[in-house]
Amino acid sequence: MKVIWKELCTAILMGAVLPGLILNVSAILLRSHAQELPIMESVPETRNITEIHTPVWIRFPDRGKEQVELDTYLVGVVLAEMPAEFETEALKAQAVAARTYTAKAMKTGGKHGDGSVCTNASCCQAYIAEDTYLSEGGTEENLEKVRNAVLNTSGYVLTYEEELIEATYFSCSGGSTEEAAAVWGTDYPYLRAVSSPGEETAAHFSDTVCFTAAQFQEKTGCSLTGDPAGWFETEAYTPGGGIDTIVICGKRYTGVQLRQMLGLPSTAMTISTEGDTIKIVTRGYGHRVGMSQYGADAMAVTGCNFIEILAHYYPGTELSRLT
């Protein structure tokens, strides 16, 4: 598996030098508002980065809205969204994705309409304050590691055709990410299904859930009769290996609907029956669109830097700097 990623990273770097020096993230180039900044084989160090100071409004559940420096906020996001024990380059990739998400919300109004972001992971992005992180067992070493990951990418965001992207991310893909159109019905050229090997150690790489026939009927709201083996008819799959549609006793459901009704980790699933039991084996955890966090860590372990990680999970995007 490591050999595969090394070959992938080498191919990306070679592609950056040979085919006309195309200025995009796949070509491993950074772009600023003033000049184009080529990134060589090594990634920027702290002394090469000018920290960008940008205030952002954060909605806290216990004290309303507060204005916080963007990078200070992002430290709390990375601590909450990704294990601090992950490789540094994976943490940097997470920082860029989270910064892009936040900048997009600030520019467009976001989910709350006023450019603010909340700390609810199911709505915006998870967040944990530094002192809370330490009081809950986090270490000063890991906290400093995350701080550096944010600082060493300060100001960097992902764009597509000079617009901030929808920088979605999730925990684990189970081997392949998913296309945005298959989950949300909206197509984004940079949110495509891509392979994501090396995630086998993730907690939710694969999960098995079993339902009795009665439980399955209750959760789906269907009135089903006969042997459960005959309930499931045809299935269609998405480019990322999830269920696109499935027919259950003559009624068609999308994979997204089935996941929601049954409370499953993902739409990538296989269904089998044994007597009165319906067994569902899922792969991955989350919507599986954009960057896989466990996949990013797997790439970092093989030596890929954050630029290469972002290029893989958001193909065709550019790494730009906030002004």
Q: State the pLDDT at residue 48.
A: 61
3 pLDDT higher than 60? no
Mean pLDDT along residues 213-233: 89
What's the rounded Cα separation, in Å, for the pair 198 and 205?
A: 10
Mean pLDDT along residues 163-175: 97
232 pLDDT higher than 60? yes
103 pLDDT higher than 80? yes
- At residue 4 the predicted structure's pLDDT band, cuts being 50, 70 and 90, is very low
Mean pLDDT along residues 185-195: 97
Coil, helix or strand for 304? coil
Residue 242 near residue 181, CB atoms below 8 Å: no
Residue 152 near residue 92, CB atoms below 8 Å: yes
Residue 190 near residue 291, CB atoms below 8 Å: no
Q: State the pLDDT at residue 225.
A: 84
Mean pLDDT along residues 177-205: 96
Most confident of 61-70, 143-152, 217-226: 143-152
50 pLDDT higher than 60? yes
Q: What's the whole-model pTM score?
A: 0.82
Q: State the pLDDT at residue 316.
A: 97
Q: What is the 3-state secondary structure (H, E, C) of 253-291?
A: EEHHHHHHHHCCCCCCEEEEEECCEEEEEEECECCCECE
Residue 313 near residue 177, CB atoms below 8 Å: yes
Least confident of 42-46, 60-64, 226-230: 42-46
Coil, helix or strand for 237? strand
Q: Tell me: the pLDDT tens digits for 114-155?
A: 999 999 999 999 999 999 999 999 999 999 999 999 999 999
Which of the two residues, 29 and 300, has the higher pLDDT score?
300
Q: State the pLDDT at residue 10.
A: 46
The whole-chain average pLDDT of the chain stands at 87
DSSP-H helix ranges across the chain: 2-17, 70-81, 88-108, 130-135, 140-151, 180-184, 213-220, 255-262, 293-301, 306-313
- At residue 277 the predicted structure's pLDDT band, cuts being 50, 70 and 90, is very high
Q: Going by C-beta distance under 8 Å and a sequence separation of 6 or more, which residues neighbour residue 264?
A: 209, 258, 280, 282
Mean pLDDT along residues 272-295: 96
Q: State the pLDDT at residue 289.
A: 98
Q: State the pLDDT at residue 31.
A: 35
Least confident of 101-105, 118-122, 126-130, 233-237: 233-237
29 pLDDT higher than 80? no
- At residue 321 the predicted structure's pLDDT band, cuts being 50, 70 and 90, is very high
Residue 75 near residue 58, CB atoms below 8 Å: no
30 pLDDT higher than 80? no
